[in-house]
Structure 1
Amino acid sequence: MESTELVEVVLPGTVEPEELQFRRGDIPAAGAGQIVVRMEATGVSFAEQQMRRGRYYDQPPFPFVPGYDLVGTVLTAGPGVAPGLVGKRVAALVKVGGWASHVVLDAADAVEVPEGVGAAEAETLVVNGITAWQMLHRRARVRSGGTILVHGANGGVGTVLVQLARAAGLKVIGTASARHHDALRRLGVTPVDYRTEDVPARVRELAPGGVDAVFDHVGGRSVIDSWRLLAPGGTLVSYGSAATRDDTGSKQWPVLKILGRVWLWNALPNGRHAYFFNVWAGRALNKDRFRARLSADLTEVFRALQRGEVTARIAARLPLTQVAEAMRLAESGTVAGKVVLIPGHEGPDAPSRS
């Protein structure tokens, strides 16, 4: 039955998951150039875990509705939008606002989901897929036969990244806790246990000449080690500071330190390159170019899914009304894949742990 009211999750401050609030109201109307999307799947990403702690470097002031991305069906369209878009399943990257039954978007920010791709499956590949694709193909650009190191290879971005890399003919070394090693081996990844092994020493054993690229979401000391593991001409792509998730103090400082190191390393005359990847980079300068690139790259990720090069790993599906449980599960480190939130009238699936 079609919902007749808006339900959204509100993050009121730095609170425990159980203190997230619900707000109800009328379904919004689409303005000029806008669409209203009936959410079918949204997810719990690392960004929301940081936002809950007030640690995401450019989060809005409290209170706000979290939700970094979503997939849903276009319910209505405003003036200036092609009427054929109504009824189509679309995906969107929104940064905030996705944890709601209905979301208003600029139509230009919506990317059509191919026929035959389910909402929850597509959801696992929106922010994770676009991040992995752009870091691998637009930043690192490692030639077939090269070797890369992926930190957190079992995580949301890491899982997609290693599969895209294997499809591109790359050798992959991936860090993860031991419980995930068998799954990584099945993907063709050489696993390294970051808890029990000396990661830099082990990577040097596996790649004595250095690796062609490192993808580092950990931040802190890990970024320095990652830079030192690069082969001549190699590329470091830093895309987070997970190590500082539970720290106190300035939420900008960990990122600013990485940016400072990136600037310094790129000034060195050694042929190596470093980037701090932000999926939103370039949007403020050229919105049309940003949208075109995002649409093209996310479409490539969906095609990779259809070809079987990438699998959609759903850790659990929980109704929006069980968002506290979903966040606890995502933060537990015990699940493989992405925790997906679905409309509140649907029942939960059991989580798949590994």
Structure 2
Amino acid sequence: MSTVYATEIVLPGTVDPDGLLVTTRELPAPAAGQVLVTVEASGVSFAEQQMRRGKYYDQPPFPFVPGYDLVGIVAAAGASVDPALIGQRVAALTKIGGWSSHILLDAADVVPVPAGLGAAEAETLVVNGITAWQMLHRTAAVPRGATILVHGANGGVGSTLVQLARAAGIRVLGTASPRNRAAVEALGASWIDYRGDVAAEVRALAPGGVDAVFDHVGGSGIVDSFGLLAPGGTLVSYGTASTRDVAGDSRLPVLKLFARLLWWNALPNRRHAHFFNIWAGKRNAGRFRHRIAEDLGSVFALAVQETVRPQVAARIPLTEAARALALAESGTVIGKVVLVPALEA
């Protein structure tokens, strides 16, 4: 195998987007059980926005290469890996490391991408699709005919969640800004202006309450989200976006949120509250990998059928990751910003 040099985007500390560094390093040959992946697309998610502020709950110490997920082609395989993997397009959930031109991964962690699904399109469905699918079908187990509220219905997870819910015969109310109203309605949701009286709008559309609320905002608004649940309903919290720019200990908002959810679950109110963590259960590696592959495979299948349409907000060269991160943080996009090789941008 010839020498491979990876171009990587390094997050050196708590910097503005233009403080990201573009570096190059030599990669070793894949070890036993590993594959070398030539990255075709990597996403810009809310996790990276928090990481650059040092506010992602369990991020590694600086410096490191961010990149929560990726799609690419297997270029080489180590011993004990099926050589048939070489040349296949695969997806992987990485948490860090995805903002690179090449990466070494455990072969057990890659999921095949079906034919007919482009790299950038598939990339938008990796962490977003797994998160949305598991929250909807595993955590909340929302049945057909139910009504749910999705906050941030124009975002990466939100837009995917809306489509998965509609595909499952679930009515969706979705919050977003007025500029994103048409896009949210095109996905099949009833739009609600997040800047208005959301609670009143939801009660007008669902007088008995909603069966589930999916809330990435956190903060004080989580109380309203829980209050909008119908008896037996489920609140799924999966972030604390409202505290992204708040100074202080990054763990405190999360711990406060956990405490509130635990308190609600202890009350005899017949409503449920959960915090979704995509990495929960990772200690049981075999089961965790099976669920990731099964759930992502289900999302990919819906995309191939065009039941779910990937929302690519923009394709930006890897070496311009600073611009991509700034765009993702602007709150003006529908779907997900994707980093791609320069020739594909």
| TM-score, structure 1 normalization | 0.95
C-alpha separation between the residues in 2 aligned to 1:228 and 1:213? Answer: 11
Render the CA deviation track for 1:82-141: whole Å, top value 9, x for unaligned.
Answer: 111111110000000000011111111100000111100000000000000000000111
1:229 maps to which residue? 228
C-alpha separation between the residues in 2 aligned to 1:28 and 1:328? Answer: 32
Structure 1 position 225, deviation (Å): 0.8
**Structure 1 residue runs of 4+, over 3 Å off?**
none
Q: Helix, strand or coil: the match of 1:339? A: strand
CA-based RMSD: 1.2
- The answer to whether the 8 A contact 1:213-1:235 is kept is yes
- The answer to whether the 8 A contact 1:216-1:222 is kept is no
C-alpha separation between the residues in 1 aligned to 2:81 and 2:320? Answer: 34
Structure 1 position 38, deviation (Å): 0.5
**Aligned ranges 1:303-322 → 2 under 5 Å:** 303-322=301-320
Letter of the 1:163 counterpart: Q
2:154 maps to which residue? 154
2:201 maps to which residue? 202
Q: Structure 1 residue 219 and structure 2 residue 252: aligned?
A: no
C-alpha separation between the residues in 1 aligned to 2:55 and 2:127? Answer: 19
Letter of the 1:234 counterpart: G
C-alpha separation between the residues in 2 aligned to 1:260 and 1:28? Answer: 45
1:54 maps to which residue? 54
Render the CA deviation track for 1:293-322: whole Å, top value 9, x for unaligned.
Answer: 000000000001011111111111111111
2:86 maps to which residue? 86
2:272 maps to which residue? 273
**Aligned ranges 1:92-171 → 2 under 5 Å:** 92-171=92-171
2:39 maps to which residue? 39
Which runs of no fewer than 5 residues in structure 2 stay unpaired? none
Q: Helix, strand or coil: the match of 1:298? A: helix
Structure 1 position 4, deviation (Å): 4.4
Structure 1 position 255, deviation (Å): 1.0
C-alpha separation between the residues in 1 aligned to 2:188 and 2:42? Answer: 29
C-alpha separation between the residues in 2 aligned to 1:288 and 1:114? Answer: 22
| TM-score, structure 2 normalization | 0.98
- The answer to whether the 8 A contact 2:183-2:334 is kept is no
C-alpha separation between the residues in 1 aligned to 2:272 and 2:253? Answer: 20
Q: Structure 1 residue 240 and structure 2 residue 229: aligned?
A: no
1:352 maps to which residue? none
C-alpha separation between the residues in 2 aligned to 1:65 and 1:153? Answer: 29
**Aligned ranges 1:64-75 → 2 under 5 Å:** 64-75=64-75
Letter of the 1:264 counterpart: W
- The answer to whether the 8 A contact 1:39-1:102 is kept is yes
Render the CA deviation track for 1:274-310: whole Å, top value 9, x for unaligned.
Answer: 11001001102x0110000000000000001011111
Q: Helix, strand or coil: the match of 1:311? A: coil
1:324 paired residue among 322, 325, 340: 322
Structure 1 position 270, deviation (Å): 2.0
Render the CA deviation track for 1:321-341: whole Å, top value 9, x for unaligned.
Answer: 111111111111122121110
Structure 1 position 41, deviation (Å): 0.3
Render the CA deviation track for 1:215-259: whole Å, top value 9, x for unaligned.
Answer: 000000121111111000000000000001111111111111111
1:351 maps to which residue? none
Structure 1 position 3, deviation (Å): 9.4
Q: Helix, strand or coil: the match of 2:27? A: coil
Q: Structure 1 residue 193 and structure 2 residue 220: aligned?
A: no
1:250 maps to which residue? 249
C-alpha separation between the residues in 2 aligned to 1:241 and 1:33? Answer: 36
Letter of the 2:264 counterpart: W
C-alpha separation between the residues in 2 aligned to 1:205 and 1:135? Answer: 25
Worse-superposed segment, 182-191 or 87-96:
182-191
- The answer to whether the 8 A contact 2:41-2:70 is kept is yes
1:289 maps to which residue? 287
- The answer to whether the 8 A contact 2:159-2:187 is kept is no
